[in-house]
Structure 1
Amino acid sequence: MQFILKFCFSFAMMLAMLSIALPAQAANQAASVQTAQPMPQAAELKHETVAANSNRCLALLHVEDYQAAIAACTQALQLDPQAAEARLNRGLAYYRQAHFRAAIADYNRLLAIQPDDFRAYYNRGLAELALERYQVSLADFNQALQSDLPTPAEAEVLMERGLAYLMLERVESAIADFTQAIQTDQTLERAYYNRACAYHQRGDSWAALADFDRVLALVPSDPQAHFSRGRLRQQLGDPRGAMQDLRQAAQTFQRQGQMMAYEAVRQWISHIQSHQTAIG
């Protein structure tokens, strides 16, 4: 997904959430349980081939070889269209390639197989969010939260639902979700960042600044947080602090090879310097 640099860009939208997909070992365990009973030889071979392709797809996802992951999952689904893990993992691969409608189609099929699978609702919500269909994504996140989620997954869903609320300008609901996610895990830098954006949208600049401070306490080199805090410091009348943050952001973007972002920050630095010169 193309990097977009602006004052309060929520990097939550840049991340596909593989963290709540079933790990490969869990899929292997499920396969071993299912094959414990005697099976006809051809059916057993088919089952093992589907499981192998599904696991290979997941492994390829983790190394970010999305095209190969799609091919492996497709092979599994050609043998067994009801293979839920292959359906989920192919949807994740499509999402990572920004093929959001293809991802949604796979999640729809998965929900036809497993109507209560919170992962399908959550990941479909992410795809809808990327398509800027915020109300639809909100419904999916609400549905995911109806499940008895493990704590890390609940925090992830709350953060994404908060982002949907924020895009719908339901700022108080967004802040409530980000706060609940933080209460679940106080190391969630994305929740602090997104809440800072929500506070800024509400006009509470000092609360936003405090949350940007928390992000940078957790991830000191985060260039987007430095950029956002620098812009906010500029607005709050702290040009020296703003310049420190913007220079740090520029250095990190340059080191990471994100040259478009680097040039954008350099332009802001030049703008502040020229403004200070004009005042002086």
Structure 2
Amino acid sequence: MNSHLLNERYRIIKVLNDGEKGKTYLVEDVNLAGSQFIVKQLCPPSNNPQNLTILHHLFASLAATLEKLGQKHEKIQKLIAYFEENQELYIVQELIAGNPLTDEIIQGQPLREDQVISLLSDILEILVIVHSYGVIHRDIKPANIIRRESDKKLVLVNFGINEAMTNTIENIEYMPIEQVNGNLKYNSDIYALGMVAIAALLGLSGTEISNLRTQKNRLTGEIVWRNKNLKVNKKLAIIINRMVRFDYRKRYQYATEVLDDLKKITNLERNREKQHQKKLLLVLTGVAGCITLGVGAWQLRLPKFLTNAQQTLYQEGVNKYDAGNYEGAIEDFNQAIELDPKNALAYNRRGDAYYRLGDYEQAQADSSQAILLNPQDANAYFDRGFALSELGKYKEAIADYTQAIKLNSQDAYAYYGRGLARTKLKDNKGAIEDFSKAIALKPQYTEAYLQRGIIHRRLKQRLEAIQDFDTVIKINPSDAKGYYQRGLTQSINNQKDAAIKDYTDAININPKYIEAYLNRGDIYSDIGDNLEATEDYNAILQIDPKFSAAYIHRGIHRFSFGDYKGAIEDYTEALKLDSNDVVAYNNRGNAYLELGNKKAANQDYSRAIAINSNNALAYYNRGVIRTKQKNKQGAIADFKKAAKLFQQQGEQDSYQDAQREIAILQNNSAPATTTRPKSGKREKN
């Protein structure tokens, strides 16, 4: 092989970069005269053969995705080819003739607002495509944004394929904290782009951006980047602030959301410009029309004044809503509606605020008014659908989601909402279809995968359920719900070790995940790991001392290894929190019975029956007590009632147990001597 050629076709013209993690070359393809490309050599972090095999597979997968991605968008640097040579990995990229944004963002020379908005819009449009393919750029900074010479358009280059393979980072000037900590999110790219916007507005170098990251508000922890000398559009500042929020959960989640808010600014500016042009035309009519102009100008001022006031109040309401101040948002929307009772948008957003406050009736009413004012507003139907769902009106909700879909067939969220409503009506097939459609429209929609997986599990399609939860975890490895739901499914499959691992992963991500502690504790209890089970139940009560189920489950656990007094203490604590807890009475009765306190046991079973006359276990257990007390007729009556309820509930084994006890009593055989296991440990809430 020619030593000067890479992959027997790429002649090195120049070494552009020679770093620890690989080299970058400017090359010429000898098979295509005059064709120049960028070749990057990627250095694996380990020489371990097993690790290398994994990395090579990952490399091929990432490169193939980037290759497809470059074909889909003309403003994404194309990946021409990828290959392996002498155990080294290489990618061949398009050479973009042009200048990096570092030539435009110059220290001490801020860009105009309109330039920054244009920059943000251009890159966000690219990120919409990038993220839809499951790709995160990982290294957005001015040097990786090229102004193409041929058409002056911005092109995104240098996707972090090396970082993706090695989980390492080099330059952190523009990176958010979760990426630095190895917990990468899609909106990590949004943060980095927000930092680029700040650099452009202030005229800052990379070093100055690094210094700026340390200037944080002591109370909120957010970056302080605006100063007295900087005059910037308030709405643009709000958008950038939300892009660079420290906590990724409070940041914009999707590039489309940022684009939508930017469009509102540009549309508002266009409207103002049109109004200015109208005024100018009136002035140019001359002195001959001065009287008419005088009257017309006064008539023009009033509507304009109201329009500005409405816009200001509406935007302030939106800002308060975004900040979580829903009461304040409602006040602003109220005033906007007073100024213009036909402001459909204000009704729509006020309804959203009422929804957040749990006032679903008012949310429904506001959405209905928005629909009345604008029957083509798909979002209003969507919002009303969610309000109706919360009110338990699932059929009406489905009708609204369906109308929203008719108006906007590409709205993944409307399909998702309809899927949730169909789930409530036990229309599992329809729900799966809706969640699948939402996924088709939005391939990274983890909530849709999650809900579809839950239905698959309900239908005993456990393999499909596991696949959905696997996908959730693959898309977002930090989604604790994905691990938790997969753990539930593993537990049903009797894969207890796998379930424990999933619950543990969920807890590591969310240390306050009560349900994960509860289910992990139950498995530990089942396999006899008494200490671990107790620790899990105790952990729940440290997080929430009023979580009664933790007392119930810890009581069941204590009962399982003979600590009946401890079990009684736990059930009593649960009853202090909820005096109508049938499960606590029933299980405490079991513990009293084991201690020989038949009177107390009988009282607890009777209380359980008084609260819920359909509690089969309580009748069964009281039948056992009455048998011990020689109350034959009372015992038979209880066992008959238990048998009837068990049969209605489809619990065939328990039904047969009750029938056997009746037969024993009627034949004057030996009496029942103990409660069945199902009346003790398996009675959970």
Match of 2:472 in 1: 181
RMSD: 3.2
Contact 1:61 1:69 in 2 (8 A): yes
| Mapping 1:45-56, distance limit 5 Å | 49-56=343-350
CA distance in 2 between counterparts of 1:64 and 1:77 reads 21
Cα 1:128–1:187 shift into 2, 3 Å: same
2:436 paired residue among 142, 164, 170: 142
Q: TM-score, normalised by structure 1?
A: 0.77
CA distance in 1 between counterparts of 2:515 and 2:493 reads 20
Match of 2:463 in 1: 172
The alpha-carbon deviation at position 207 of structure 1 amounts to 0.6
Kindly provide the CA deviation profile for residues 96-125 of structure 1, in whole angstroms up to 9, marking residues without a partner as x.
333322221210111222223221111101
Name the aligned partner's letter for residue 49 of structure 1: N
The alpha-carbon deviation at position 271 of structure 1 amounts to 2.7
Unmatched runs of 5 consecutive residues or more in structure 2:
1-252, 276-302, 308-338, 565-685
Name the aligned partner's letter for residue 247 of structure 1: N
The alpha-carbon deviation at position 253 of structure 1 amounts to 4.0
Name the aligned partner's letter for residue 519 of structure 2: S
Cα 1:55–1:136 shift into 2, 3 Å: same
CA distance in 1 between counterparts of 2:263 and 2:353 reads 16
Match of 2:561 in 1: 276
| Mapping 1:12-23, distance limit 5 Å | none
Q: How many pairs were matched up?
A: 247
Task: Identify which range, 105-114 or 53-62, moves more after superposition.
Answer: 53-62
The alpha-carbon deviation at position 209 of structure 1 amounts to 0.5
Contact 2:371 2:381 in 1 (8 A): yes
2:495 paired residue among 196, 204, 210: 204
Cα 1:96–1:32 shift into 2, 3 Å: farther
The alpha-carbon deviation at position 23 of structure 1 amounts to 6.9
| Mapping 1:242-257, distance limit 5 Å | 242-255=533-546
- 1:84 and 2:378 matched: yes
Name the aligned partner's letter for residue 96 of structure 1: E
Cα 1:275–1:200 shift into 2, 3 Å: closer
Cα 1:68–1:31 shift into 2, 3 Å: farther
Name the aligned partner's letter for residue 51 of structure 1: L
Task: Identify which range, 228-237 or 45-54, moves more after superposition.
Answer: 45-54
Cα 1:30–1:278 shift into 2, 3 Å: closer
1:215 paired residue among 483, 501, 506: 506
The alpha-carbon deviation at position 145 of structure 1 amounts to 1.8
Match of 1:100 in 2: 394
| DSSP-derived class of the 1:254 partner | coil
The alpha-carbon deviation at position 242 of structure 1 amounts to 0.8
Name the aligned partner's letter for residue 60 of structure 1: Y
CA distance in 2 between counterparts of 1:265 and 1:146 reads 40
CA distance in 1 between counterparts of 2:500 and 2:559 reads 25
Contact 2:342 2:373 in 1 (8 A): no
Kindly provide the CA deviation profile for residues 181-208 of structure 1, in whole angstroms up to 9, marking residues without a partner as x.
1111111011111000111122211111
Kindly provide the CA deviation profile for residues 231-271 of structure 1, in whole angstroms up to 9, marking residues without a partner as x.
0111122011111112222444434xx5xxx1x33233223
- 1:226 and 2:517 matched: yes
Unmatched runs of 5 consecutive residues or more in structure 1:
1-18
Cα 1:200–1:230 shift into 2, 3 Å: same
Cα 1:58–1:271 shift into 2, 3 Å: closer
CA distance in 1 between counterparts of 2:544 and 2:434 reads 34
Contact 2:449 2:472 in 1 (8 A): yes
Cα 1:272–1:145 shift into 2, 3 Å: closer
Q: TM-score, normalised by structure 2?
A: 0.33
After TM superposition, where is structure 1 displaced by more than 4 Å over at least 4 residues in a row? 22-38, 44-48
Contact 1:162 1:174 in 2 (8 A): yes
| DSSP-derived class of the 2:440 partner | coil
CA distance in 2 between counterparts of 1:31 and 1:91 reads 29
Kindly provide the CA deviation profile for residues 126-182 of structure 1, in whole angstroms up to 9, marking residues without a partner as x.
1112222222100111111221x273xx22211111112111111111111111111
Identity %: 25
Kindly provide the CA deviation profile for residues 30-66 of structure 1, in whole angstroms up to 9, marking residues without a partner as x.
698599589xx9xx99896111211222233333332
1:67 paired residue among 339, 361, 373: 361
| DSSP-derived class of the 2:512 partner | coil
- 1:110 and 2:385 matched: no
